[in-house]
Amino acid sequence: MAEKLTPEKIEEIAKNYEKITQGKLPIIKGDKEEVTAKIDPKILQAKKEEKRILPLIPPSDPRLLMQVAPFIDDTLKEFDFKDRVELSKVMYDTMVKYGGIGLSANQVGLPYRMFIMGGHPSIENGKIRSVFNPLINDVSKETVMMKEGCLSFPFLFLSITRPKWCHVKYTDQHGKDVEEVLHGMNARIFQHENEHMNGYVFTDLVSKMKLDRAKEARKKMLKKYARGGAIR
């Protein structure tokens, strides 16, 4: 579970906003004991030495908007990963470090069609999914609008309409084929991260007017918290 956002913490974040967007500082730290409780033990054992944390690439980096080719295990050594399990562990640790519930490989500059999702205790008891070569086969006709954020766009929140459930296929960190129907927040996270694989981000899903309003709200919030303003 991510560290609680107190007024003091948000003030600190606002003051360090530029460093955060450049991946030089985490947005919020994770709680090691609580967040790792539900993850596959094999992922946890993959690398017991000091954690490897990858920096988030900025929104202006073209790698964030590239369509990612299907994942091939033989490419892992190019970026010093022993196997899928080790990559999943690094992605998980990085996601937790930045306080997220989903992170795609291209958000940290890796050309892999994979993402990690989950970890929050209120979402399926904190279950972690390591997703390689995701496919969405079907979605519900019923949709739900909800505010979303993205680690690549700190403090930007947009109301996004998405299908309520989705039928998905992927392979996990052990190369096992997985097929399941995701509902609620899991369906939303999967769809959001899958979009990263296809070369677009959640800001592409709203009108320019709505995006400008959200950016203005972010700017006001950061100015307010940088001055020590209270949370409402």
3 assigned to active site: no
Among residues 18, 180, 193, 195, the one annotated as catalytic is 193
Interacting residues of 228 by C-beta distance below 8 A, sequence separation 6+: 7, 11
Distance CA 86, CA 105 (A): 13
Of the candidates 3, 74, 11, 64, the residue with the CA atom closest to the CA atom of residue 34: 3
User: Any bridge partners for residue 181, and if so which?
Assistant: 167
φ and ψ of 170, to 5 deg: -170, 175
Contacts of 46 (CB under 8 A, 6+ apart): 82, 83, 85, 86, 88, 89
Distance CA 12, CA 142 (A): 40
**Residues classed as catalytic:** 193
